[in-house]
Amino acid sequence: MPNSQAPDSVSAQSRPHHPHSRRTFLASTAVAAAAVAGGGPLLTGCGAAESTGRGGTTSGKDLKKLLPTYVASKASEPDIPGRNGSSPGFTRVPEELTASVSGKPGKGGTYTAYTPLWGTPPPKDSAYYRAVDEALGARIQWRTQDGNTYGEKLGAVLASDDVADIVCVPQWEMAGRIHGAISAKFADLGPYLSGDKVKKYPNLAAIPTEAWQMSVFGGRLRGLPMPARPLGGVVPFYRQDVFEKEGYEVPKSPDAFLALAKEITRPKSRVWACEDMWWSAQIIFGCPPEKPYYWLERDGKLVNKFETDAYLEALEWTRKLFAAKVVHPDAVAGKANDAAVRFTSGQSLMMNDGDAKWYGLTAEQKDVNPEFVIQAMDFFGPDGGDPVIYQGAPASIWSFLNKKLSKAQIEECLAIADFIAAPYGTREQRLVDYGVEGEHHTIRDGAPVKTELGVKEVVDTYRFIVSAEATVSYPDHPQVVKDYCGWMQRMGAHMRKPLFFGMQIQEPNRYASLATPFEDLAKDVVRGRKSLRDVQNAVSDWRKGGGDKLRDWYAELLEKNGSGV
Amino acid sequence: MRPGTASAPERAPAAPPAPAPGGRWHRLRRDRSLLLMALPAVGLLVLFVYVPLIWITVAFKDYDPYVSGLWSSPWTGLENITLLLEDSRFWDAGANTLAITFLQLVLFFPVPIALALLLNSLLSERLRGVVQSVLYLPHFFSWVLVITVFQQMLGGAGLLSQLLRARGYEGFDLMTDPGAFKFLVTAQMVWKDAGWGVIVFLAALSSVNQDLYEAAAADGAGRWRRMWHITLPALRPVIALLLVLRVGDSLTVGFEQILLQRDAVGPGASEVFDTYVWWVGLASGDYGVAAAGGLVKGLFSLVLVLLANKVAHLLGEQGVYRK
């Protein structure tokens, strides 16, 4: 899969399972310092202001000083330029691949990398790794872990003394005190990248500023980001081929969706209308996104997602789908990981997933089922009008460099990262995403197509160290690029930024697990095991248990740092 | 980091014997080869059971494994225990655990005994071997596989439902029914592990003197009387021992099996002590509260095992240990 798609797919898949960012730790030394001045109680342990557990964010002048200067890349022009905030699309490969890095960036060092991996693990010693390492002039020793259970191991690994040199941490795995671990264990990259210093690494300089902005942890620039597309997290897919064959009309309102779903569902023929649509429902009814972007400002007051009517309406609509038995029974049983299999085999015709599935399933089904066409339906509002869609975070996966590395080693790692961050249309990008021509891919109609060896060996791994600006570039399936970019542009017209957009926020420890019960509660409500009344009770428990104090904390954050809108 | 308290007492005798008046040195010399032989086991026990017990202190600390570590994390007294006891999810987990424990004891425990008796009555060695292999096999399946098999058979889109629908009946979905969940997990357990549990009982049965059966048969005892007066009394010590061990372990009702089905029926029906500890500790990072949960569970298990042992003694059995 080219171009960093796996992680997106995962973010949508895993989010339902691992959004437990709870006891987050500390953040900006600036906020902590302000707390000291205000006489706030501080737990002085190892002396650093970073271990206060008070949380916060970094913004304004403090932030500007940290951010790398943006220098756009001149590698290639997209044939579908960005509109309404959409990512640029590439349907073709440029005639001539350019080189964005001269010589070998590495100096012969060897580094361990701890990263997630989705799909079948490639062989440890492969021609692909050897070829990329050769071009890097350094060796990466991979310690990959299954992406779906990555977070369960990450915590223990970070607590040990044997932390890898390069460690990838996705946003949705920052549960518990991982934020604190990041500040404690990983290097400050500011001295190497802030301001004009980044110009030494032109491909890193071409990473959008808002992605870097999300990479500030504990008041320091620590992360190497994987920039994300603005609306990639939740896409409502449907089987266009089956819809056309059966004459189904793509629904344009929640009611129409439910009516169509009833029409589609025929258990006797093993066909159900949809998978669990809870993530789409939240967008349809205009819910704010996940923590920490779950606040709205209404009449000068902060309102949490859980307190909105939109949240209740989304729950109620999803409950109706479950009650009407139009949701595939395996999805009711919580087997979300196999949703795509049920979708491709025609057992369910609509599902929401990350945008990566668009290309991923198209490529996967091309030979197995040539008629298979996956398409995204346009989001609609609660009454069938325009939806309100909140923009996703500009980056939600980072890698970090171990604090124990020497200055020279960090510089070598950054040079390696610069190579990996090469944008679309460069020789470096081709090598990282497709391996060696003739061995891992061949050129068919001007587009690279992976060989059997390529499919086996070239799996996204280097991408988890760093990535270039997010694009939509599938020259082997140009129609997917056109469809996806078109969808993104149409949806982009209704896109809004959440209140704290682009800020890397750490809630104080004591509030960190406040939102936890809602995740289970939502699952119970849509399956009819609990009622909306229970949700309202949970909201009042939430308020009493610290939700109101958390609101004050965010209000203060808003006053101090301004909004991200 | 579950404290190994429950299993500690039974292993305690492995420690060197208490000094007897007068002859400590003499006894040390006399038993030195035995003591030497016990040393590696004691070493392992200390290293892997007693040393990790230090982490019990996590239950009384605001533990942060990344920044401050075990030693410098601040003490918080009983705060974690208070938080734990105030958490309704913990009590729900406790209730579910006890319910599943009870069901397992009643519905699961007798199954291997019955199977062993049945197998023992099979005369054909070959048939016995085949049946035994078929029974053992599911033990080697992972829980993921077992639950997938159940989902494919009894789920809403499963084989049975589809068969019913093909014949014009309504389908059903056993896998998402919170009311049936506790029976379902017990059934899964029986399917997976009952065959495996047979082994111990078969071993005990093989030691029964066959002459007894002949003599009883000669005296006119029928099949049932022979089972009641010969077979079952022979199994009694083993049954008592396994029962006590099972009770001590009873709060451990299955972790992976239940976690995998959590979303299907919701935490209200499925949360047990172990999944609660995992959820709060590993998934949410509240290590202190999770450790407190594990500690409470460990203490509870200790009480249960002591009680069960006492009951075994009252029934005239050896139990796991005797003072």
Asked if the Cβ–Cβ distance from A20 to B284 is below 8 Å, we say yes
Q: What phi, psi does A217 have (nearest 5°)?
A: -120, 130
Asked if the Cβ–Cβ distance from B151 to A529 is below 8 Å, we say no
Task: Find the CB nearest B67 among A51, A270, A272.
Answer: A51
Asked if the Cβ–Cβ distance from A20 to B67 is below 8 Å, we say no
A residues 178-207 lying closer than 8 A (beta carbon) to B: 178, 180-181, 183-185
Task: Find the CB nearest B162 among A180, A270, A332.
Answer: A270
Q: Which token pair is A346?
A: 């025609």
Which residue on chain B is closest to A185 by alpha carbon? Answer: B66
CB A482 within 8 A of CB A217: no
Asked if the Cβ–Cβ distance from A184 to B66 is below 8 Å, we say yes
Convert the pLDDT of each residue in B98-142 to its tens digit.
Answer: 999 899 888 999 999 999 988 888 878 899 889 988 999 999 999
Asked if the Cβ–Cβ distance from B176 to A329 is below 8 Å, we say yes
Between A and B, how many residue pairs show a Cβ–Cβ distance under 8 A?
127
Task: Find the CB nearest B72 among A46, A180, A513.
Answer: A46
Distant-in-sequence, close-in-space partners of A515: CB < 8 Å, separation ≥ 6? A22, A291, A294, A306, A542
Residues of B in contact with A330 (CB under 8 A): 151, 155-157
| Bridge partners, residue A272, by sequence | A348
Q: Interhelix angle for A532-542 vs A309-323, to 10°?
A: 150
The mean pLDDT of B183-197, rounded to a whole number, is: 92
Amino acid at A291: K
Residue B60 has pLDDT above 70, yes or no: yes
A residues 292-331 lying closer than 8 A (beta carbon) to B: 328-330
- Indicate the pLDDT class of residue B6, thresholds 50, 70 and 90: very low
Q: Which domains does chain B have, with CATH numbers?
A: 58-314 (1.10.3720.10)
Query: HEC string of chain B?
Result: CCCHHHHHHHHHHHCCCCCCCCCHHHHHHHCHHHHHHHHHHHHHHHHHHHHHHHHHHHHHECCCCCCCHHHHCCECCCHHHHHHHHCHHHHHHHHHHHHHHHHHHHHHCHHHHHHHHHHHHCCCHHHHHHHHHHHHHHHHCCHHHHHHHHHHHHCCCCHHHHHHHHCCCCCCCCCCCHHHHHHHHHHHHHHHHHHHHHHHHHHHHHCCCHHHHHHHHHCCCCHHHHHHHHHHHHHHHHHHHHHHHHHHCCCCCCCHHHHCCHHHHCHHHHCCHHHHHHHHHHHCCCHHHHHHHHHHHHHHHHHHHHHHHHHHHHCCCCCCCCC
Residue A538's CB is within 10 A of a number of other CB atoms, namely: 18
A residues 112-171 lying closer than 8 A (beta carbon) to B: 151-152, 155, 158-159
- Compute the distance between CA of residue A482 and CA of residue A505 in angstroms, rounded to an integer: 35
Give the gyration radius of chain B's Cα atoms: 24
Is cis: bond before A121, omega within 30 of 0?
Answer: no
Residue A137's CB is within 10 A of a number of other CB atoms, namely: 17
Given this model, what pLDDT does residue B76 score? 87
Given this model, what pLDDT does residue A53 score? 52
H or E element at residue A550: helix A548-561
Task: Find the CB nearest B284 among A43, A46, A176.
Answer: A176
Distant-in-sequence, close-in-space partners of A244: CB < 8 Å, separation ≥ 6? none
Return the residue matching tokens 């943006």: A70
- Using DSSP's 3-state secondary structure scheme, residue A266 falls into strand
Q: Which token pair is A172?
A: 């949705």
List chain A pLDDT tens, one digit each, 565 residues. 333 334 443 333 333 333 322 222 222 222 332 332 333 333 323 333 333 455 777 777 788 889 999 999 887 889 999 998 899 999 988 888 899 998 899 999 999 999 999 878 899 889 999 999 999 999 999 999 998 888 878 888 888 888 999 999 998 888 767 888 898 999 999 999 999 999 999 999 999 999 999 999 988 999 999 999 999 889 999 999 999 999 999 999 999 999 999 999 999 999 999 999 999 999 999 999 988 899 999 998 999 999 999 999 999 999 999 999 999 999 999 988 889 999 999 999 999 999 989 999 998 898 899 999 999 999 999 999 999 999 999 998 999 999 999 999 999 999 999 999 999 999 999 999 999 999 999 998 888 988 999 989 998 899 999 999 999 999 989 999 999 999 999 999 999 999 999 888 888 877 877 888 898 899 999 999 999 999 999 999 999 989 999 999 999 999 988 888 7
Given this model, what pLDDT does residue A42 score? 30
Interface with chain A: mutation pick from B62, B73, B84, B263, highest number of A CBs within 10 Å: B263
- Compute the distance between CA of residue A473 and CA of residue A89 in angstroms, rounded to an integer: 6
Q: Which domains does chain A have, with CATH numbers?
A: 5-231+394-495 (3.40.190.10), 235-390+499-561 (3.40.190.10)
Asked if the Cβ–Cβ distance from B176 to A178 is below 8 Å, we say no
Sign, CA torsion B212/B214/B217/B222: positive
- Indicate the pLDDT class of residue B21, thresholds 50, 70 and 90: low
- Compute the distance between CA of residue A338 and CA of residue B115 in angstroms, rounded to an integer: 37
Long-range contacts of range B136-142, CB-CB < 8 Å, 24 or more positions apart?
Answer: B136/B195, B136/B196, B137/B195, B138/B191, B138/B192, B138/B193, B138/B195, B139/B192, B139/B193, B139/B195, B139/B196, B141/B192
Asked if the Cβ–Cβ distance from B156 to A513 is below 8 Å, we say no
Which residue on chain A is closest to B63 by alpha carbon? Answer: A177
H or E element at residue A263: helix A254-264
Instruction: Give one word for A470, left, alpha or beta, with left for phi > 0 and alpha for psi -120 to 50.
Output: beta
- Indicate the pLDDT class of residue B65, thresholds 50, 70 and 90: confident
Given this model, what pLDDT does residue A41 score? 31
Q: What phi, psi does B261 have (nearest 5°)?
A: -110, 10
Chain-centre distance for alpha carbon A402: 23
Residues of A in contact with B289 (CB under 8 A): none
| Bridge partners, residue A145, by sequence | A116
Asked if the Cβ–Cβ distance from B282 to A513 is below 8 Å, we say no
Given this model, what pLDDT does residue A5 score? 37
Burial class from Cβ neighbours inside 10 Å (0-12, 13-18, 19+) for residue B53 reads middle
CB A165 within 8 A of CB A465: no
The mean pLDDT of B240-259, rounded to a whole number, is: 84
Looking only at the bridges linking them, the beta strands covering A166-170 and A110-117 are parallel
Q: How far away is chain A from the Cα of B185, in angstroms, using its nearest Cα?
A: 14
Q: Is B142 on the interface with A (CB under 8 A)?
A: no
Q: How far away is chain B from the Cα of A418, in angstroms, using its nearest Cα?
A: 29
Angle at A133 between CA A127 and CA A138, to 5 degrees: 150
| Bridge partners, residue A444, by sequence | A447
Amino acid at B46: V
Given this model, what pLDDT does residue B295 score? 92
Asked if the Cβ–Cβ distance from B263 to A512 is below 8 Å, we say no
Q: Interhelix angle for B181-206 vs B125-136, to 10°?
A: 140
- Using DSSP's 3-state secondary structure scheme, residue A120 falls into coil
- Of the two residues A252 and B246, the one the predictor is more confident about is A252
Q: Which token pair is A389?
A: 């869609």
Max CA distance (Å), chain B = 86
User: ipTM of the assembly?
Assistant: 0.78
Q: Is B266 on the interface with A (CB under 8 A)?
A: yes
- Compute the distance between CA of residue A465 and CA of residue A422 in angstroms, rounded to an integer: 12
Asked if the Cβ–Cβ distance from B165 to A268 is below 8 Å, we say yes
Given this model, what pLDDT does residue B311 score? 84
Q: Which token pair is A502?
A: 């682009």
Sign, CA torsion B185/B188/B192/B193: positive
Interface with chain B: mutation pick from A172, A524, A534, A537, highest number of B CBs within 10 Å: A524
B residues 60-89 lying closer than 8 A (beta carbon) to A: 62, 64-68, 72-74, 89
